[in-house]
């Protein structure tokens, strides 16, 4: 009787075809229930808090807006913040597919953003040359860093987690030195602001008496997510990368060049991280803060897990996490809940997303027991 009841409860996620969608949705639902309990424990209304999150992110209207602002401008700001997160999460997902863990996305972002800043951001080049060049530099710089990690893994069997963490520190402090010595703004104590021609976000564009921030990289992020899906699912190289990630020994036995595909996967991952870097440091922001690694490089791990490392799933999971992040300030001011609660929600999403494999296992076991029960009854 107990097993029968358990099977009924898990039936909505028992279809293996739909599990890549249903299990993340269940994870999100459980995460928000847990977050609601936390909010209740501090004496606040969780429904009001979640509604304020949506208002702050431009999904729901606010009671009033400042001059030249509206729900649309808030939503465009959400897309602007979401763009580098999509690229960073795709970087993590590609490495995951090859059985690798690219925890160095933040460092790759920083190196790409810094090089694009000093080469193009301060150059005075025309926008039609500067903006594409920024993207190219991001891909090349990030790809070289990622490729180095893949080569160290293949050539010397150096664990990619160790090498990426070390490279994060190297990038953080070396670039901080150069910014503070040569490129620091004496007022902001950050790197000098880049030119508008090199920036990948059009800032304060006056349309219909509204001042909007238009993220030029957003459509590129969507297109690249689709291309990555096609590459991984429909090409020979994509199949080889997934084969290496599934079982390196079996892939080697089948004649697949494990070393080449390891380096290639990390190069692609680094290139995507580089795009995240330029859309962050030369898009969402226009300068670099010394000694600080972007949290996006670490949030992208949660986003990739939540999206089941699927490029299209990552778009939706990036959207959700960006809503929580962007809406936290307004939630704090309206509901009287500290902004750190948004980090708690993201942490809970990561926790329950990481349990996805366990959920699949439990569903499979319950299905087997249900089949056995029916056979006994018949």
Distance CA 160, CA 95 (A): 10
Distance CA 322, CA 333 (A): 18
Angle between helices 19-41 and 356-377 (to 10 degrees): 110
Q: What is the pLDDT of residues 28-66, one digit of tens each?
A: 888 888 889 988 988 889 999 999 999 999 999 999 898
Could you tell me if residue 168 is left (phi over 0), alpha (psi between -120 and 50 degrees) or otherwise beta?
Answer: alpha
Please, are residues 294 and 85 in contact by the beta-carbon 8 Å criterion? Answer: no
Distance CA 228, CA 363 (A): 30
139's tokens: 């891909």
Per-residue confidence (pLDDT) for residue 13, from 0 to 100: 67
Write out the H or E segment, with its range, that includes residue 163.
Answer: helix 160-178
Q: What is the pLDDT of residues 118-134, one digit of tens each?
A: 999 999 899 999 999 99
Distance CA 232, CA 131 (A): 28
Look-up of token digits 């999971």: 317
pTM of the model: 0.91
Distance CA 136, CA 131 (A): 9
- Residues of the chain scoring pLDDT < 50: 1-2, 5
* Bridge partners, 215 (sequence order): 201
Domains annotated on the chain, with CATH: 24-377 (1.10.3470)
Count of positions (residues) in the chain = 378
Burial class (CB in 10 A: 0-12, 13-18, 19+), 117: buried
Beta-sheet strands, E only, within 290-358: none
Per-residue confidence (pLDDT) for residue 1, from 0 to 100: 47
213's tokens: 């921030």
Per-residue confidence (pLDDT) for residue 358, from 0 to 100: 73
Distance CA 308, CA 360 (A): 12
pLDDT above 70 covers what percent of the chain? 93
Per-residue confidence (pLDDT) for residue 305, from 0 to 100: 84
Could you tell me if residue 39 is left (phi over 0), alpha (psi between -120 and 50 degrees) or otherwise beta?
Answer: alpha
The candidate with the shortest Cα–Cα distance to 74, out of 221, 202, 201, 210, is 210
């Amino acid at each position: 009787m107990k097993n029968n009841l358990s099977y009924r409860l898990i039936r909505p996620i028992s279809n293996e075809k739909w599990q890549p969608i249903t299990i993340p949705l269940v994870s999100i639902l459980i995460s928000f229930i847990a977050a609601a309990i936390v909010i209740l424990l501090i004496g606040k209304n969780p429904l009001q808090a979640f509604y304020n999150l949506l208002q702050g992110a431009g999904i729901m209207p606010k009671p009033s807006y400042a001059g030249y602002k509206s729900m649309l401008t808030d939503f465009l700001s959400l897309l602007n913040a979401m763009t580098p997160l999509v690229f960073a999460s795709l970087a993590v997902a590609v490495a995951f597919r090859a059985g690798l863990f690219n925890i160095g996305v933040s460092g790759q972002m920083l190196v790409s953003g810094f090089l694009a800043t000093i080469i193009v951001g301060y150059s005075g080049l025309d926008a039609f040359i500067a903006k594409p060049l920024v993207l190219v530099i991001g891909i090349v710089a990030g790809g070289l860093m990622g490729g180095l990690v893949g080569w160290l893994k293949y050539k010397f069997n150096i664990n990619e987690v160790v090498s990426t963490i070390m490279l994060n520190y190297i990038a953080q402090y070396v670039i901080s030195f150069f910014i503070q010595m040569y490129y620091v703004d004496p007022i902001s104590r950050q790197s000098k602001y880049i030119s508008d021609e090199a920036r990948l976000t059009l800032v304060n564009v006056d349309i219909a008496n509204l001042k909007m921030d238009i993220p030029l990289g957003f459509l590129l992020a969507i297109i690249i997510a689709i291309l990555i899906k096609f590459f991984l699912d429909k090409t020979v190289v994509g199949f080889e990368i997934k084969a290496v990630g599934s079982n390196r020994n079996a892939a080697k036995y089948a004649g697949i060049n494990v070393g080449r595909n390891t380096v290639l996967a990390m190069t692609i991952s680094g290139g995507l991280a580089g795009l995240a870097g330029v859309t962050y440091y030369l898009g969402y922001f226009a300068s670099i803060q010394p000694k600080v690694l972007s949290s996006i490089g670490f949030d992208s791990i949660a986003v990739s897990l939540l999206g089941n490392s699927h490029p299209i799933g990552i778009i939706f999971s990036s959207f959700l996490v960006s809503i929580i992040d962007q809406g936290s300030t307004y939630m704090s001011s309206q509901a009287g809940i500290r902004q750190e609660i948004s980090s708690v929600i993201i942490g809970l999403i990561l926790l329950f997303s990481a349990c996805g494999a366990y959920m699949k296992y439990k569903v499979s076991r319950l299905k087997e027991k249900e089949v056995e029960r029916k056979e006994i009854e018949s």
